[in-house]
């Protein structure tokens, strides 16, 4: 169920509706928009009486939602959500780029890369302290020491820190040291983790699972939002298919498909999406041309020595080239994407 | 690295090798076999001196392992592992069947089904108390109340309880009420959860992820074993493909593929593997014919009223028919599978 | 549209209906069944007047068909079709096995294998004279010389010859030398070839395409039948997925899925379905256990010297073992599959 | 084997090498390049003596080719091939756009669309006269009448006609009425058809199969080239995956992957690649941004009345918008793609 308020509804009108929803034992999710506020209702197993709400002051209409998702939907919020991370944004007019190494390996490595990212005018720095590795014997990240290095990077360059939480305890740590919680593809349906992220004050970058349908991905975002955290950014990072010339198959059609049903911003990961250094820039261009809100890209000062995912990291020179190219595309595509 | 002991090595010989491995800061995993014990070594980032071990009393040879996995491998343990759950086994001569509802819905439902399972001579009862649901608004299971019902079923019928843990806290609860921890397909690469299950005394049923390669699945088992829990049963439950006539595509070739490299038992889930009631028995027959160690099957006393996965549950009569048919196949196939 | 005749309809009644259909410019496909004849109508773009037929003598009812297929469907023919190839059958009580080399390489090779196939009591011999090879530089088969060897095998052993036609000219040749036209996975939607096979007197073995949905596969059979050739046997030979432990993923759920909608027999190809010698027998057992009507299996007297697909061919001893095992399974499963 | 001629080799030198190759019973494929000519050799089953060629006048070196393909490869021809179709080109600096309806339905429809295509400055017109349809009962195209309409369009507007041949007889017809032979995804491994197209004077547009790996696709092109037709354009049109929000998953990473090994031009089909009208322009932008040589796009004057594939066709206004947007992207990306 979804309550759409009139454009001239007062704060008191909205508060009254929220109160009644809560009194019924449900949860109210008010979403202010450019012209009107809508209020999502979750927690209702059965039916809610439409008439009860439509007679309240300030209510334009009450809509039954037949789709499996509610809060992520354009029905609830027709304008795109702009996720704010301090003074940086994802989902607004500016192309959001998140760049940095796969894993934080040392203070020197992190600073060498952060220096380049900062210089390029990019505002988000990525870097893993806890790495989800297929083998228990592979490098698993520096742990909290890695997070401390990230906090230093933030201090030194003012970059916003995007870093992955592998479990609920990991969310606590990202909250202490970082700016945005990354949830990885392998955890896209780790529902306990989604709920924990939903109770965080930090925005969440939610990667699509390797075999996730569009609905499963959107419903994973819905898990986060149903807990009250509406700052979710979706990230297309490639799906698993039979194709062997890339590590994953980047499904760029997912961007217009998300747009058609959801107000959430969506970014593209051409690094995991291809797994091959030589393709990253080409697919980054495509990711911007298709209309995404940004990119997340792996950069390393010495890719050939990277402890993880070296084959897909750009070196600093390639990274600068990428930033230049995608900004040129973004300039051309913006009116088109909007128009 | 893998240390193979001589057939006449004494317990003291084995203990000495284990001690030295531990002193080096690594972890020793002794695996007693029918004719000799092998000792896996994990935790070694770099190389270990082979000569150092080969000169010790009782050591036959020290082998460098080039494959990504060590503990799951036939190199370490040439005989199939028999996982014991009380007086029941998985991986031995008897076909192991795990049957029960998708979710525990009520005491009455659980007992009606358990009665039938017990009568059929089957020893394992499945039932979810915590359900991983794609939508946050779908029935999520009875929680701890469901586990209490399962404990009552165990008490009443002597059935071994197999139930899913969704997170680390869930493992604590299964340890309290159940006999075997099920880890679901969506959590196959939830590495924190794998590690927690690896520190449990209970055996683990590890479902294959929807898009997991053979190596990824085996390495997920390796995560559990590397923590010291060697009682892992693999479960093929279908993979995600383009095919739409089933919910998943049951990949029965995974059973001989696992056999070729691993000593771990492997069972088949024809319920999730097809998602369609009318196919379950046919694929269960195939799963036994291909040489698996058992089946996990969804049964419901009133499938049309099931709160989850009703479309794939067998009713009690269909279930009895399935048990009869797969036992007949098992009888025929056993010498073949062994021979 | 589908006309179901009364059980006591006379030949003249049937002939009258067929005549009217033809006069309307459509095509009539009478399918005699155990208790009644049904008559499919194809070629009608728009609607046909139901009442016109229901008033005719001998007509029980006229049914509008809403599914995309008509002739392959159980609506038209509720009993399974038994395809007769001389004195051998596919789709009847006996398990049909088609065995032989991937490609005919020489007279000596063909006869060595045929000798073993004949001895095992199997009635169908396979062998390619024209091979569809991924590379233009790979061995393409002996061509018509290969077909002549196949004709000699038929003469010598009375085996029915199943061999692939790659194009319309190839069908002419198979008609001259063989008993059953095989259409390969890569040609499943070569519609000109399907139509040509539909005008042949020989039965057709139609392999499922690598990425074919159930409907696409059944509609490919419908192409053949719409031309008047109703002797079609479907063959599941594995689909392309992300899995890398096999050449293809054998989708055994396709067998009950076909059964549910179609009267056509369906066999399983565990050789291409796995691509690995050591798995073939296990999957052959599974293919019989799931309820298929038969198997098509690659056998070679010297697999290590095979000019194509040697990695998946069984040697003669393994072949004998397979025949023995699948017959044992078939005996157990037959009443089950029927029941 | 591949013979690289010196930059100052004379025509007589080249002719001599070709002659010797032919005398050996092989086939020579001379490929003139910007700075030197290379000569591919096909038809050699075994080894060719390298020394024999390296001592000839004008020969720089003879290279053994270890990859499965030879003629499509950058080893043979380091510069991109520019395919000329009359005064239009694919693979040069200009973005090649091929636009038109899925199927030719009438003279009026074809001319209405061709008028718009011509006005937009686009040089290639597509339209199917023979349609490969999943169902035998669906509209199969106007046949030769459709080709005659296409020939009239060519006459009237000077557009180059790209149209599909479904079989060998179809190639004869396209040669009579069209300018470029399209081979569809379902026929990508119809080897008889590939060989027939390889003997044509017309250039060939080769669509990637629904489940084709990169190597299979390139080897299909190799089949055409091995017969002597070197004017092949590859077309990425989406692959079959589990994703359901599009008809196919457009694999844009295939473009840089092709570039890395082949000199052949490659275009993108965002219409079949998505199957959804609302996504076509976004993916067309991405297809140009990723560095492809052009697009093939379905346009219809009345998409809602189209006899086939209406859901993915753009109307004339949307088409104009697409052309404008992709040209803007092409302008930005050209130096990047080249640089």
Q: Is D219 on the interface with A (CB under 8 A)?
A: no
- E strand or H helix that includes residue B110: helix B107-119
- Cβ-Cβ contacts under 8 Å for D224 (sequence gap 6 or more): D194, D195, D197, D198, D204, D206, D232
B176 to chain A, any CB pair closer than 8 A? The answer is: no
DSSP-derived pairing of the beta strands C294-298 and C96-100 = parallel
Task: Please compute, for residue D289, the number of CA atoms within 13 A of its CA located in the half-sphere on the CB side.
Answer: 33
Bigger pLDDT: C142 or A25?
A: C142
* Residues near C299 by beta carbon (within 8 Å), at least 6 away in sequence: C99, C100, C101, C113, C116, C117, C313, C314, C315, C316, C319
| B residues 235..264 contacting C (CB < 8 A) | 239, 241-246, 249-257, 260
Q: Is C76 among the domain residues?
A: no
pLDDT beneath 70, residues of chain B: 45-47, 335-339
Q: Are residues A203 and A302 in the same domain?
A: yes
CATH number of B178's domain: 3.20.20.70
CB atoms within 10 A of CB B69: 24
Q: What's the rounded Cα separation, in Å, for the pair B217 and D84?
A: 50
Residues of A in Cβ contact (< 8 Å) with D336:
281, 285, 325, 328
Could you list the residue range(s) of the whole structural domain that residue A223 is in? 83-338
Contact by Cβ (8 Å): C196, C229? no
D-chain CB neighbours of A329 within 8 Å are 289, 329, 332-333
Give the per-residue pLDDT at B307: 87
Residue pair A218/A261 in contact by the 8 Å Cβ criterion:
yes
Q: Inspect the interface and report whether the beta carbons of A137 and B42 lie closer than 8 Å.
A: yes
| pTM for this model (two decimals) | 0.94
* Residues of C in Cβ contact (< 8 Å) with A240: 242
Distance between CA atoms of C238 and C254, rounded to whole angstroms?
A: 10
Which of B242, B273, B287 has its CB closest to that of C211? B242
Separation of alpha carbons C288 and B62, rounded Å: 44
Asked whether the beta carbons of D198 and C173 are under 8 A apart, the reply is no
Per-residue pLDDT of chain A (339 residues; tens, 9 = 90+): 889 999 999 999 999 999 999 998 899 999 988 889 999 998 876 667 788 898 899 999 998 887 888 999 999 999 999 999 999 999 999 999 999 999 999 999 999 999 999 999 999 999 999 999 999 988 899 999 999 999 999 999 999 999 999 999 999 999 999 999 999 999 999 999 999 999 999 999 999 999 999 999 999 999 999 999 999 999 999 999 999 999 999 999 999 999 999 999 999 999 999 999 999 999 999 999 999 999 999 999 999 888 888 889 999 999 999 999 999 999 999 864 444
Q: Say whether pLDDT at D36 is over 50.
A: yes
Structural domain count, chain B: 2
Cβ C115 vs Cβ C317: under 8 Å: no
- Sequence-distant (6+) residues with CB within 8 A of D99 are D113, D117, D120, D122, D124, D125, D126, D296, D297, D298, D299, D319
- The predicted complex's ipTM stands at 0.94
- Residue C240 to residue A242, Cβ atoms within 8 A: yes
The region that residue C86 occupies, defined by phi over 0 for left and psi between -120 and 50 for alpha, beta otherwise, is left
B296: tokens are 């996990």
In-domain check, residue A135: yes
Helix (H) or strand (E) holding D41: strand D37-42
Whether the CB of B134 is below 8 Å from some CB of chain D: the reply is: no
Tell whether B100 is within 8 A of chain C (Cβ).
no
Instruction: Give CA–CA dist C251/B80, Å, rounded.
Output: 27
**Residue A190 dihedral angles phi and psi, to the nearest 5°:** -85, 90
Strand partners, A110: none
Residue D111 has pLDDT above 70, yes or no: yes
- Crossing angle of helices C214-226 and C191-198, in 10° steps, is 50
Contact: B244, C213; criterion CB under 8 Å: yes
Element (H, E) at A11: helix A11-23
Three-state SS at A306: coil
Q: What is the C-alpha separation between B198 and B206, in angstroms, rounded?
A: 11
- Find, among A221, A291, A216, A219, the residue nearest to A253 by Cα: A291
Same domain flag for D234 and D332: yes
Token couple for D246:
């599009």
Specify whether A333 is located in the same domain as A236: yes
Helix (H) or strand (E) run with residue A270 in it: helix A270-274
DSSP D160: E
Does residue A26 sit in the same domain as residue A141? no
Contacts of residue C335, Cβ cutoff 8 Å, sequence gap at least 6: none
Q: Residue B309 and residue B195: Cα distance in Å, rounded?
A: 29
Cα(D175)–Cα(D150) distance, rounded to whole angstroms? 12
C334 or A84: which carries more pLDDT confidence? A84
pLDDT at C45 over 80: no
* Same-domain status, B262 and B178: yes
Complete DSSP assignment for A130-163: S---SSTTS----THHHHHHHHHHHHHH-PEEEE
Distance CA A13, CA A147 (A): 44
Report the mean per-residue pLDDT for chain C.
Answer: 94
Same domain as D313, residue D209: yes
Summarised one tens digit per residue, pLDDT across range C78-124 is 999 999 999 999 999 999 999 999 999 999 999 999 999 999 999 99
Contact D115, D157 (CB under 8 A): yes
Q: Which of A239, A273, A282 lies closest to D291 in CB terms?
A: A282
Specify if A195 maps to a domain: yes
Partner A contacted by D271 (CB < 8 A): no
Res. D46 pLDDT band, cuts 50 70 90: low
B34 with B131, same domain: the answer is no
Lowest mean pLDDT among A85-89, D53-57, D159-163: D53-57
Residue A53 lies in a domain: yes
Q: Are D249 and D172 within one domain?
A: yes
The answer to whether residue A147 sits within a structural domain is: yes
Q: Is residue A75 part of a domain?
A: no
Q: Which partners does chain B have (≥3 C-beta pairs < 8 Å)?
A: A, C, D
Q: What is the pLDDT of residue A52?
A: 84
Strand-pairing partners, residue C40, are C2, C29
Given this model, what pLDDT does residue B68 score? 85
In a domain, A132, yes or no: yes
Q: Among partner residues C244, C278, C286, which is closest to B289 by beta-carbon distance?
A: C286
In this predicted structure, which of A46-60, C192-206, D81-95, D213-227 has the lowest mean pLDDT? A46-60
Q: Starting from the edge strand earliest in sequence, which strands make up the sheet with D37-42, in order?
A: D27-32, D37-42, D2-5, D59-63
Neighbours of chain D (3+ CB pairs under 8 A): A, B, C
Its sign, for the CA torsion D281, D287, D288, D294, is negative
What mean pLDDT do residues D58-74 have? 89
Please tell me the predicted confidence (pLDDT) of residue A260.
Answer: 96
- Rounded to whole angstroms, the Cα distance separating A203 from C194 reads 56
A314 touches chain D (CB under 8 A): no
**Residues paired with B224 in a beta bridge:** none
> Is the pLDDT assigned to residue D61 strictly greater than 80?
yes
D13 Cβ contact partners less than 8 Å away, ≥ 6 residues apart: D5, D6, D56, D57, D58, D59
Per-residue DSSP letter, C103: B
If asked whether residues A160 and A49 sit together in one domain, one would say no
Give Cα separations from C287 to B288, C282, C320, C325 (angstroms): 11, 9, 17, 12
Tell whether C179 and C314 lie within a shared domain. yes
C216 shares its domain with C320: yes
Give yes or no for residue C336 having a pLDDT over 70: no
- Predicted local distance difference test score (pLDDT) of residue D18: 94
Residue B77 within any structural domain of the chain: no
pLDDT of amino acid C91: 97
Per-residue pLDDT at D337 exceeds 70 = no
Q: Between C167, C209, C223, which is nearest D136 by CB?
A: C223
Asked if D134 is an interface residue toward chain C (Cβ–Cβ < 8 A), one would say yes
Average pLDDT over chain D, rounded to an integer: 94
- Give the β-pairing of A59-63 and A2-5: antiparallel
Is B318 near chain C, with CB under 8 Å?
A: no
C160: left (phi > 0), else alpha (psi -120 to 50), else beta? beta
- Residue that finishes a domain, picked among D12, D30, D63: D63
The CATH number of residue A30's host domain is 3.30.70.1140
φ/ψ of A206, rounded to 5, equals -105, 110
Does D113 share its domain with D196? yes
Among C175, C277, C284, C168, smallest CA distance to C237 is for: C284
Nearest CA in chain C to D194: C136
User: CB count, 10 Å around CB of A41?
Assistant: 22
């Amino acid at each position: 169920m979804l309550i759409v308020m009139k454009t001239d509804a007062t704060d008191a009108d909205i508060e009254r509706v929220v109160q009644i929803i809560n009194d019924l034992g449900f949860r109210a999710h008010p979403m202010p928009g450019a012209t009107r506020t809508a209020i999502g209702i979750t927690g209702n197993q059965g039916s809610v009486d439409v008439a009860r709400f439509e007679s309240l002051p300030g209510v334009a209409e009450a809509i039954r939602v037949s789709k499996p998702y509610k809060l992520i939907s354009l029905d609830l919020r027709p304008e795109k959500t702009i996720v704010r991370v301090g003074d940086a944004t994802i989902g607004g007019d500016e192309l959001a780029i998140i760049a940095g190494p796969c894993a934080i390996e040392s203070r020197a490595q992190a600073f060498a890369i952060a220096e380049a990212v900062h210089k390029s005018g990019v505002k988000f720095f990525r870097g893993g302290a806890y790495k989800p590795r297929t083998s228990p014997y592979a490098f698993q990240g520096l742990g909290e020491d890695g997070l401390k290095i990230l906090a230093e990077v933030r201090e030194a360059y003012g970059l916003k820190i995007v870093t992955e939480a592998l479990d609920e305890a990991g969310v606590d740590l990202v909250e202490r040291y970082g700016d945005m919680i990354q949830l990885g593809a392998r955890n896209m349906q780790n529902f306990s983790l989604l709920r924990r992220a939903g109770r965080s004050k930090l925005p969440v970058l939610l990667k699509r699972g390797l075999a996730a349908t569009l609905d499963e991905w959107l419903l994973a975002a819905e898990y986060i939002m149903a807990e009250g955290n509406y700052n979710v950014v979706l990230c297309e990072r490639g799906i698993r298919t039979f194709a062997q010339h890339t590590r994953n198959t980047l499904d760029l059609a997912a961007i217009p498909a998300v747009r058609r049903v959801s107000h959430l911003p969506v970014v593209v990961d051409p690094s995991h999406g291809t797994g091959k250094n030589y393709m990253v820039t080409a697919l980054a261009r495509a990711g911007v041309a298709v209309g995404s809100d940004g990119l997340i890209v792996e950069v390393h000062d010495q890719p050939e020595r990277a402890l993880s995912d070296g084959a897909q990291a750009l070196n600093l020179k390639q990274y600068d080239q990428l930033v230049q190219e995608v900004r040129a595309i973004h300039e051309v595509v913006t009116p088109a994407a909007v128009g």
